[in-house]
Amino acid sequence: MSEKEKVVLAYSGGLDTTTIIPWLKEHYDYDVICCCVNVGQGEELDGLEERALYSGASKLYIEDVVDEFCEDFIMPCVQAGAVYENKYLLGTSMARPLIAKKLVEVARKEGAVAICHGATGKGNDQVRFELGIKALAPDLKIIAPWRCNETWNMQSREDEIAYCEAHGIKLPFSTDSSYSRDRNLWHISHEGLELENPACAPNYDHLLVLSVSPEKAPDEAEELSLTFEKGVPVALNGTKMKVSEIITELNTLGGKHGIGIVDIVENRVVGMKSRGVYETPGGTILMEAHKQLEELITDRDTFAFKKVVATRFSDVVYEGKWFTPLREALQAFITSTEENMTGEVKMKLYKGNIIKQGTTSPYSMYSESLASFTTGELYDHHDAEGFINLFGLSLKVRAMVKENAENK
């Protein structure tokens, strides 16, 4: 008897991916290998192996990639200043290519012929997963149950629970349709319920997981310092830590003070607008600290061009184009701008606000003697007159030409 072909399922242990296991076996007769990629989703990983095997999978991989996620995916986005549509710090976006990479690695190890994911046909994640898989393993088949209209007939949680029970899988899943959430070390996102109507305010008392609202934050501010080397945080309050440890600590501090809660209506890759609330407490602090260091060190032309790169980089990451020559080239530029990004940033957290408390760097371009009114030897006030004459020459010539033409 020949072995069955294998499929690797991106598995979270939730109702959707649990339902997919018997569905894959029924409609494809595959041997289902589950793969959960740990990017810092915390207690969601508890009891996964038992659940996966009980639901009919033959094996479960739990791939711990938290440090790789922080160092190779989060930090390039921080260094780029990549924020999608001026608000979204790309928490889900930058995790998906790493998950795709690990799914491919497991598929190769197991000799699988296909990879399956539970992303819906309306969202961004299907694009991100599949672009990543196509870039790394173009020969693998991709199965997206939510797009399989002929065989995936479930429209609700009740339908999925009934399907599981009909296949002998009885798990304590609730029929309560709560928020749709995605969590990793960098953030947690919320969609659904009252958020589906942009006219409604978010029910923060019901919604928030990592944070409190600014109104419920402490009345006392809290100060902190971050130390960077070449654009990478290496110490928090003087204590050396890994990037993942720093983000974890900043999440606690930022969440306590209501930092990084964003309510956005964004433009999805597939063409529709969607409304979501993102909590990114630690990430917001880290991005702001890097920005404060950058404004002290980076020259004017590079600073201006980096804003262009930041916008393009955020689009590339949001659209799932991580494994592309463009992302690599943009990141090469970003990396070169980080060579001197070393120093210490002090900040104060208070009721949703991050307040500057001073920034120092051995590579600071700020010169106190130049910036002061006395200016010193490097700057002669009289030089400004010639500079202004040349800098404004085209304006003056244009005005003269216009005046002569009108006089005639």
Q: What is the mean pLDDT of each run of 10 residues along the chain (408 residues)?
A: 87 96 97 98 89 97 98 98 98 98 98 97 96 98 96 94 96 88 97 96 97 98 98 98 98 98 98 97 98 98 98 98 98 98 98 98 90 72 93 97 93
Confirm whether 213 is a catalytic residue.
no
pLDDT of residue 12: 95
Domains of the chain: 6-64+90-166 (3.40.50.620), 186-360 (3.90.1260.10), 368-407 (no CATH)
Determine the angle formed by the axes of helices 91-110 and 125-136, rounding to 10 degrees. Answer: 40
Contacts for 331 with CB less than 8 Å, ≥ 6 apart? 76, 80, 313
In the residue annotation, 182 being an active-site residue is answered as no
Q: Read off the DSSP letter of residue 366.
A: -
Q: Indicate which residue of 96, 128, 181, 183 is catalytic.
A: 96
* pLDDT for the residue 1: 46
Selected catalytic residue, list 12, 16, 181, 189: 16
pLDDT score for 373: 66
DSSP string, 86-102: TTB--HHHHHHHHHHHH
Token pair of 58, please? 């033959």
Q: Is 96 a residue of the active site? A: yes
Give dist(CA 360, CA 217) in Å, integer: 29
- Phi and psi at 310, nearest 5°, equal -60, -45
> Which pairing describes strands 222-229 and 343-350: parallel, antiparallel, or unpaired?
antiparallel
Query: Is 93 marked active-site?
Result: no
Out of 180, 213, 274, 364, the active site residue is 180
What confidence score (pLDDT) does residue 2 get?
56
Chain CA centroid to CA 283, Å? 9
Which residue blocks in 208-259 are alpha helix, DSSP H? 243-256
Q: Which of 55, 93, 125, 211 is catalytic?
A: 125
